[in-house]
A and B are shown apart, each in its own frame.
Chain A
Amino acid sequence: MALITDILRTMDYGPSPESSEHVLAWLERRKAGFGLFINGRFTRPGALFDVFNPATGGRIAGATQGSPADIDAAVGAARKAQPKWAALSGHERAKQLYALARHVQKRERFLSVLETIDNGKPIRESRDIDIPLVARHFYHHAGWASLIDSEFPGTRPVGVCGQIIPWNFPLLMLAWKIAPALAAGNTVVLKPAEFTPLTALAFAEICVEAGLPAGVVNIVTGDGATGAALVAHAGVDKIAFTGSTEVGRAIRRATAGTGKKLSLELGGKSPFVVFEDADLDSAVEGVVDAIWFNQGQVCCAGSRLLAAEGIADAMYAKLRARMAKLRVGDPLDKSTDVGAIVAPAQLERIERLMREGAEEGLEFWRADDALPNRGCFYPPTLVTGVEPASILAREEIFGPVLVATTFRTSEEGVTLANNTRYGLAASVWTENVSRALEVAAHIKAGVVWINSTNLFDAASGFGGYRESGFGREGGREGLNEYRAVEAPKGKPYQPATAPLIASPGLIPSAETAGGLDRTAKLYVGGKQTRPDSGYSYAILDPKGYEVGLAGLGNRKDIRNEVEAAAKASSWGAATAHNRAQVLYYVAENLSARAGEFAQRLRTMTGVSARTAEAEVETSVRRAFFYAGYADKFDGAVHATRSRFVTLAMNEPWGVMGIVCPNEAPLLALVSLVMPAVAMGNCVVVVPSSCHPLSGTDLYSVIDTSDVPAGVVNIVTGEANALAATLAEHDGVDAVWYVGDPSGAKTVEALSAGNLKSTWVASAALDWSRAEGREFLRRAVQVKNIWAPYGE
């Protein structure tokens, strides 16, 4: 024992270990290995894989490698339990979630210690952050269970949800997945990460303890193969995944065309922007919470420091001084700041990236404290003078490594912040509130923290822009992922049977009223442009007579249109009132030419005059409807922490691709384009392949309605070919596709490239009623901005 007089000289903290006695006893009782939790019971342990404590390297448990048959059994149990679970009153489900919250709270310290032993994160974090947020998430969603029917009218549970979670916040990510799913009336099969299955298994025991009905929650441990089996299972209605962008892409491809709902919360390389007027000492603490939280193994970690040139050196000096105070070591010690990296494979990944960085000539700064001589540790590291092209500035390191770059102006700071494939989170430090809001608005990220970082709450949505995924978790935004709107009941769209004919002389012309020949071109950036191919194709009436020609658009036309749309992005910054005025004007001009549009529908599709007039009339009404909504689809202010406003802003995607079906050629187009444009998107539209002339007739309507050039671009041709080009285009942020199932599948599969959001429908809709908030919700992504109070 150290002498008091000696300690008085050094004033060291000394050891302060959290007791792990109860957890070790629990593990000891389960040393034969954990089974899987299926239908309310644990199976006998099967083929086991080892679970390690990363801080010591010691084996602490064995868990069962779930097989496809196990997944099948779990999905079966979830399927069987789902109707009854969904049929419970909201209040009954709320009571169950409330019980889970209470039980988690009663086991708070047990779960904290178990999490720390399994994952390597400091006990301070599991105790003060992870586990309290778990309880909060269940409490919050107990509330939603009561409210789901009244707050989400016209929706139903999705069904059986397959959920795959990562190892960095094992129990918290479980809560983020299970709580909303259950509140919304779904049942789940959850696969924890193979590095960290233990708190999920403890949670399974809590489910039994709390009396949750069998089959509502099923937990199947295993590796990527187990996850792949879950993703592939036909009985799963939705997949929710948190993890790497690479695996997210694979899941997007695997679920393409299956009709499974999908939400992805993926990687990030989030900027941490410090302006010259920031509170630098506080910003330094922010960095600590951003990148030295959970060893930097945080998807939303502020891993790229962007410092204004004037204060960069001061900031770096303060950072170095602060780094010297960080304590790396035993995660169970209550004075530890930085614990263990989760597994040797992750440590090797960090080391490999750092070697590559070193080869680029980058210099690393570390405090000179020694690391523990066993276990998996990496020291907090600062890398300054990092060029945007450096591998360390582009790749997600997922370790305690901060890379720093300077910027000169606000504008340049924003540009650097957005110079990434990702868009999960951002942190902005300035004492100027106007600048903070300006920068928050311009950074492309799902979460922006002003003068703060890594704040989470169950009431706020969390999720990414760009290749950080889509869908939100938390609050009302997150619940949308676990509710389905009533599916269209019509027949599936049929794929086109005959190719488009783009050569002359084969087709007899329908009798026309004479007049001048009109050739529909493409519509690019407010101008009518010949198709790149130089071909036009014949538009036939139902009897097979040619009623006109339309341009045969190709890849290059899509490229040009996407460029034009991207240039028109100021449309999203226009006032909503201004957009509404333009939409009203479109409706007005369409209405003025109603007869002509009805006539076109009749000749092209053979519908009756009454039907054609009704379609035009509904189209006018729809344009009015969305003009009305343009300035009313409000965001929200979430009730999160005290003395914070958490603003949920609806932001347009940017450039959207919209592919229209053959039916209702005017109304379907208007129904899809108007909500997208009302919300501030610029669109590239592929009208009905067979009946595109209602679309091309709109050129002059758009021209005369003050629609800025590039906001609406139209390309005619083979819908599925054009859809594929849109889906794989990295400059397109979202695609809506209505058409045959094979086209829908292609769109979903190709969207994996930049992980753009997709919305596909491959069964006939009742277009007369296809309007409402759901269309607007799909036309925006939500950015949550956290702004603190405080004089």
Chain B
Amino acid sequence: MDQVRENLFEGHNRPRNPGAPLDPAWFESVGVNTSAVERRAETLATRRSVKKEYQAAWLVKALTCIDLTTLAGDDTPERVRRLCAKARRPLSDDLLVALGMVDAPPTVGAVCLYPTMVAPAVRALEGSGIPVASVATGFPAGLTPIKQRLEEIRYAVGEGAREIDIVITRAHVLGRDWTALFDEVAAMREACGPAHLKAILGTGDLKTLRNVYAASIVAMQAGADFIKTSTGREEVNATLPVSLVMVRALRDYRERTGVDIGFKPAGGLRAARDALAWLILMKEELGLPWMQSELFRIGASGLVTDIERQLDHYAAGRYSAAHRHAMA
């Protein structure tokens, strides 16, 4: 099988994060300078450029890293089935031909849903190898009682979810109660069993980049396999400065423990150029392994369409319109 395709399906072949004892020294000894982080983030995407077939390939790569998401009050099993069809076959046959990918058609990285939508998704994705991810733990605020939150995880895993996107209690970060945060995430990790734990930090609520760094480290110490920026419901969702701080945190964690942690920006990434900017971030700050779906996901819904439009332009040499592409 083509290496690219293998990578798509090996999302769960990486070793789990065994975690580490809670140790605030890991973040208290690290400076995070907002202004300097902002300046680095500002020029990340202006220092690099990908054009023509390279851009097309990068967009395909982005596609394979997308957690195709629906988290709406009006989600239905039928809607989910449609989404899963798109997840299996995000690109048209014509495009696959133009891209030379007929033999190895890309799929998205995962689909991401509410727990009650997991079962229809698992059915719809059977045989595709695409994992189903479920949000849990009182998404998006995470303020339901801990017992219910853990139960929700166990329910989603029981339904067949292979990844759980949990939300942390932001109050623990704002109140600097690192023990409470650590214990909470560790308990959730335990509840996940074999499913991977993706910790949503709700960075828009955490306000400062130092809080983001600290929360990232505690979540990883508690055993998170991925750290994720946002629920998509905060006032500010994924931004490059926040992402930069989080990837620096997981790089620091890796230096101390040797464990590779994944990163997932979510919320606000709608345009193909956003996807390119985040891939540049991953390449510059980490490297090739963090440009694969096993260590990098983009939480998005509309992004797929824009990527398709750009790929269509690459293939046809003219600009496309959204309605020409199969919707999710």
State the A residues within 8 Å of B (CB).
1-5, 7-16, 124, 128, 277-283, 285-286, 325, 334-335, 337, 429-431, 451-452, 643-644, 788-791
Bound state CA distance, A374 and B311, in angstroms?
36
How many residues from B make CB contacts under 8 Å with A? 43
> Which residues of chain B have C-beta atoms less than 8 A from A644's C-beta?
35
Report which of B4, B50, B248 forms a contact with A14, defined as CB distance below 8 A.
B50
Contact A4 B60 (CB under 8 A): yes
Give 3 nearest A-B pairs by CB, closest first. Answer: A790-B34, A14-B54, A788-B35
The answer, among A124, A128, A279, A334, for a CB contact under 8 Å with B31, is A279
Q: Which of A3, A14, A790 contacts B100 (CB 8 A)?
A: A3
Contacts of B37 in A (CB 8 A): 279, 282
Q: Cβ of B56 and Cβ of A4 under 8 Å apart? A: yes
B89 at the interface (CB under 8 A from A): no
CB pair B31–A11 under 8 Å, yes or no, is: no
Given the complex, which residues of B lie within 8 Å of A280, measured CB to CB? 30-31
The answer on a CB contact under 8 Å between B248 and A8 is no
Tell me if B46 and A8 are in contact (CB < 8 A).
no
Q: Quick one: which of A12, A124, A451 contacts B47, CB cutoff 8 A?
A: A124
- Tell me if A788 and B36 are in contact (CB < 8 A): yes
Separation of A335 and B56 alpha carbons in the complex (Å): 17
Evaluate contact between B3 and A9: CB separation under 8 angstroms: yes
Which residues of chain A are near B30, meaning CB under 8 Å?
279-280
A325-B284, A790-B33 known; A5-B101 Cβ under 8 A: yes
| Nearest A-chain residue to B2, judged by Cβ | A5
Residues of chain B lying within 8 A (CB to CB) of residue A452 = 35-36, 39
Whether B47 lies near A282 (C-beta < 8 A) is no
With both chains docked as a complex, state the minimum distance between the C-beta of A131 and any C-beta of chain B, in angstroms: 14
* Contact across chains for A286 and B36 when beta carbons are under 8 A apart: yes
- Which residues between 154 and 213 of chain B lie within 8 Å of chain A, taking CB atoms? 207-210
B38 within 8 A of A: yes
Q: A14-B51, A790-B34 are in contact. List 14 more A-B contacts (CB 8 A).
A: A4-B100, A5-B101, A5-B104, A8-B60, A11-B57, A14-B52, A16-B50, A279-B32, A282-B40, A335-B49, A335-B50, A430-B31, A789-B35, A790-B38
Residues of B within 8 A of A3 (CB): 53, 100
The contact of B208 among A124, A334, A791, by CB within 8 Å, is A791
- Whether A11 contacts B61 in the complex (CB less than 8 A), given A2-B54, A124-B46, A335-B49, comes out as yes
Chain B contact residues: helix, strand, loop or mixed: helix
Give B80-126 interface residues, CB cut-off 8 Å to A.
Answer: 99-101, 104
Scan B278-293; emit 1 where CB is below 8 A from any A CB, else 0.
Answer: 0100011000100100
Please list 14 pairs of residues, one from A and one from B, whose beta carbons are closer than 8 Å in the complex, sorted by A's number: A2-B53, A4-B99, A8-B4, A11-B57, A14-B51, A15-B54, A128-B46, A279-B31, A279-B33, A337-B47, A643-B35, A789-B34, A791-B207, A791-B209
Query: Bound state CA distance, A1 and B51, in angstroms?
Result: 12
Q: Determine the chain B residues whose CB is within 8 A of the CB of A283 once the complex forms.
A: 36
B36 partner residues in chain A, CB cutoff 8 A: 279, 282-283, 285-286, 451-452, 788
Q: How near does chain B come to A225, taking the closest CB pair, in angstroms?
A: 40
Distance in angstroms from A231 CB to nearest chain B CB is 39
Q: What separation, in Å, do the CA atoms of A431 and B208 have in the docked complex?
A: 14
- Is the pair A15, B51 in contact by a Cβ cutoff of 8 Å? yes
Instruction: List B contacts of A282 (CB < 8 A).
Output: 31-33, 36-37, 40
Contacts of B50 in A (CB 8 A): 13-14, 16, 335
Q: Determine the distance from Cα of A2 to Cα of B31 in the docked complex, in whole angstroms.
A: 42
Least distance between B24 CB and chain A CB atoms (Å): 15
- Hey, what's the 0/1 contact readout for B17-38 against A, CB within 8 Å counting as 1? 0000000000000111111111
Q: Give the residue name and chain of the B residue nearest to A790 (CB).
A: B34
What chain B residues lie within 8 Å of A7 (beta carbons)?
53-54, 57-58
The residue from B4, B39, B49, B60 contacting A13, defined by CB atoms under 8 A apart: B49
* Bound CA span A558–B47, Å: 55
Q: Is the CB of B53 within 8 A of A1?
A: yes
B51 touches A4 (CB 8 A): no
| A742 and B274 alpha carbons, distance in the complex (Å) | 68
Task: Report A-chain residues with C-beta under 8 Å of the C-beta of B283.
Answer: 11
Shortest distance between the CB of B43 and any CB in chain A (Å): 8
Assembly CA distance A334 to B46 (angstroms): 8
Bound-state Cα–Cα, A12 to B51, Å? 11
Instruction: Give chain A residues whose Cβ lies under 8 Å from the Cβ of B46.
Output: 124, 128
Q: Please, what's the 1-or-0 string for B54-90, where 1 marks a CB less than 8 Å from any CB in chain A? A: 1011101100000000000000000000000000000
Say whether B47 contacts A335, CB under 8 Å.
Answer: yes
- Residue from A4, A11, A788 with most neighbouring chain B CB atoms (10 Å): A4
Asked whether A11 and B51 contact (CB < 8 A) given A451-B35, A452-B36, the answer is no
Task: Check B32 against A11 for contact (C-beta < 8 Å).
Answer: no
Give Cα distance in the complex from A278 to B29, angstroms.
9
Q: How far is the CB of A128 from chain B (nearest CB, A)?
A: 6
Measured CB to CB, the nearest residue on chain A to B291 is A11
Residues of A within 8 A of B34 (CB): 788-791
Closest to B56 in A: A4
Cα–Cα, bound, A16→B30 (Å)? 36
Shortest CB distance B51–A (Å): 5
Within 8 A of A (CB), among B273-309: 279, 283-284, 288, 291
Task: Identify which of A1, A15, A285 gathers the most chain B CB atoms within 10 Å of its CB.
Answer: A285
* In contact, A277 and B31 (Cβ under 8 angstroms): yes
Give the nearest-CB partner of B48 in chain A: A335
Bound together, the chains give a CA A279 to CA B245 distance in angstroms of 11
> Considering only CB atoms, which chain B residue lies closest to A9 in the complex?
B3
Q: How far is the CA of A1 from the CA of B55 in the complex (A)?
A: 13
Complex Cα distance A3/B98, Å?
11
- Distance in angstroms from A180 CB to nearest chain B CB is 27
- Cα A5 to Cα B5 in complex, Å, equals 10
For residue A220, give the distance in angstroms from its CB to the closest CB of chain B.
36
Distance, CA A782 to CA B49, complexed state (A): 40
A277 to B4, CA, bound (A): 42
Q: Which of B38, B43, B288 touches A11 (beta carbons < 8 Å)?
A: B288
Distance in Å: Cβ of A249 to nearest Cβ of chain B: 36
Contact A451–B54 (Cβ < 8 Å): no
Bound together, the chains give a CA A430 to CA B33 distance in angstroms of: 9
In whole angstroms, what is the CA distance A11 to B46 when docked? Answer: 18
- Bound Cα distance from A251 to B205, whole angstroms: 59
